[in-house]
Chains A and B, each alone.
Chain A
């Protein structure tokens, strides 16, 4: 029973992390129609940046969150530059050019990380306040998992609010639905697109910064997360934040429970489930109304 509770909470925390990565991915897709392959590498950049900012291990939750925010800002700036140099030139071009360009970015980013930090893993640890575990009945729940879960939910609530209730969010939705019409109505479409790229990058930089405290950093840190996030974005419905949120948790909890039940085949059942899901409901849980 305690094992079940533990893997449930572990899955929730994994889902929250996946959502932080998937959120930016689905945001860019929703507004720019670009599936950003390089998303994962910016996660890694955020992680390394936070690592440098705190000099290995954060002393308190405050510095740790501040360092992650710093990483988010840095990655956001990189996002602006990326948009200026690459993504802006890809608007209105066939989808696979964007795919290959972002794949090139992935390679460049990996190369830069290797040049600066080498490929040996760097090990960081979370601030001491987050190192313990909460005793929840018979189960031990690491504070770090709880923290990630809370962050994921907070990010979702903020995004949902911003997209659906704020003026900027409504403008962004208008651009997502019909960029041409939005432009005719006087909306500064390129600005909205750039802003969504920056926000998306900041989210993934933040995710990287937060997660840096809990694992060894390598240049290929994000490969696994990217795959999970891709899956979440697809299952949720391309371009839907709500869908990405639901799917992230579904996949996280599903994976966690399956690892407990079938420890010999890590990951395989979840991918089989994904395949079956795609064959039955390719449009995802929350189909994007803007998809042509």
Chain B
């Protein structure tokens, strides 16, 4: 369903972008660093939710694509720093898109639901173990000392070495791709994907090529996850096999479900909230997990539609209770997984 963007909606998005853009000019370096990480994790979460919230398939191995982007960028920046950074990003996107396409065509016609989830988990674990064992990729130590690039556009060059410059570049890329995704999700393709999520069988019956659209969503999602990884590598300046570990696959799920999977910006909200929580509790060992876990549990039990659902007006009075809300805004994990 196409939601006409109202003033408050557009206004809050614009305000959020403005606040994020102004961050380097008044906040501390540490806060800007956290914000940069939050931006890429928001992009990562959005890519995951294109699959889950829109198409109804849960990938448990999205870290695989994230790590493709991260390692590809790290290698390119270390080995051939002269290559245009935009080209590197494009390469990261393309590489993951091809991987997503091949995997998608291999898996999606056969498996959905829980089995798809576990299979993607296994694929990511293969990548994780292979990276850990590969001396070329730095094995367990990963690749460190990744230089930040200079952006060359024709005649003029934009150095991105400084904290502020690279942060703003990340913001611009994230906003652009989020915008593109918004357009995709709110257009015909988005409607088809939602139809598939709600009922794959009926979608097929009205002539939708279900598998083809699922593969399409998986490919786009893989490419975006890879882009998020590609942007992260020069920001943190180190990549390690941890980025392909399943805990990293859980991150976008956590952020999306916390923010709300049925709202487009839910994953973004979730990512920002988790980033703030992590930052506030960073010095207290164990408290970070406790607080994030506690809030997550609270959200699931009390407001299962995620944080975003709290802001949305609901016709039903009992919207806050688990069963009613779950019924209308829950993309089932095993949608289409009926065996």
| B129 and A108 form a contact (CB under 8 A) | no
Q: Measured between alpha carbons, how far is A92 from B327 in the docked complex, in Å? A: 10
| A100 and B296 form a contact (CB under 8 A) | yes
| A108 and B289 form a contact (CB under 8 A) | yes
> Is A7 among interface residues, defined by CB-CB distance under 8 A?
no
Count residues on chain B whose CB falls below 8 Å from chain A CBs: 49
Binary interface encoding of chain A residues 19-46 relative to chain B, with 1 for a CB under 8 A from any of its CBs, else 0? 0000000000000000100000000000
Q: Measured between alpha carbons, how far is A92 from B257 in the docked complex, in Å? A: 18
Q: Measured between alpha carbons, how far is A35 from B110 in the docked complex, in Å? A: 21
> Is B273 among interface residues, defined by CB-CB distance under 8 A?
no
Q: Measured between alpha carbons, how far is A238 from B253 in the docked complex, in Å? A: 22
| A115 and B297 form a contact (CB under 8 A) | no
Main secondary structure of the interface of B (DSSP, over half): helix
Q: Measured between alpha carbons, how far is A62 from B121 in the docked complex, in Å? A: 40
| A114 and B334 form a contact (CB under 8 A) | no
> Is A132 among interface residues, defined by CB-CB distance under 8 A?
no
Q: Measured between alpha carbons, how far is A119 from B285 in the docked complex, in Å? A: 8
Smallest CB gap from B295: residue in A: A104
| A223 and B247 form a contact (CB under 8 A) | yes
Q: Measured between alpha carbons, how far is A101 from B253 in the docked complex, in Å? A: 12
Known: A94-B326, A104-B296, A275-B123. A86 touches B301 (CB 8 A): yes
| B111 and A282 form a contact (CB under 8 A) | yes
Residues on B with C-beta less than 8 A from A264 are: 133
Smallest CB gap from B329: residue in A: A94
**Stretch of B40-48, B112-120, B158-166 at the chain-chain interface:** B112-120
Residues A52-110 near B (CB distance < 8 A):
86, 89-90, 92-97, 99-101, 103-110
> Is A180 among interface residues, defined by CB-CB distance under 8 A?
no
Binary interface encoding of chain B residues 77-119 relative to chain A, with 1 for a CB under 8 A from any of its CBs, else 0? 0000000000000000000000000000011001100110011
Q: In the assembled complex, how far is the CB of residue B335 from the closest CB belonging to chain A, in whole angstroms?
A: 9
Q: In the assembled complex, how far is the CB of residue A148 from the closest CB belonging to chain B, in whole angstroms?
A: 24
> Is A291 among interface residues, defined by CB-CB distance under 8 A?
yes
> Is A130 among interface residues, defined by CB-CB distance under 8 A?
no
| A101 and B297 form a contact (CB under 8 A) | yes
| A110 and B289 form a contact (CB under 8 A) | yes
Q: Measured between alpha carbons, how far is A90 from B338 in the docked complex, in Å? A: 20
Q: In the assembled complex, how far is the CB of residue B211 from the closest CB belonging to chain A, in whole angstroms?
A: 15
Residues on A with C-beta less than 8 A from B114 are: 35, 95, 234, 238
Q: In the assembled complex, how far is the CB of residue B20 from the closest CB belonging to chain A, in whole angstroms?
A: 26
Residues on A with C-beta less than 8 A from B300 are: 97, 100-101, 104
A-B contact pairs, 6 of them (CB 8 A): A89-B301, A94-B330, A95-B333, A99-B333, A268-B130, A271-B122
Hey, which bits of chain A sit against chain B, CB under 8 A? 35, 86, 89-90, 92-97, 99-101, 103-115, 118-119, 219, 223, 227, 230-231, 234, 238, 264-268, 271-272, 274-275, 278-279, 282-283, 291-292
Hey, which bits of chain B sit against chain A, CB under 8 A? 52, 58, 106-107, 110-111, 114-115, 118-119, 121-123, 125-126, 129-130, 133, 246-247, 250, 253-254, 257, 285-294, 296-297, 300-301, 304, 322-323, 326, 330-334, 338-339
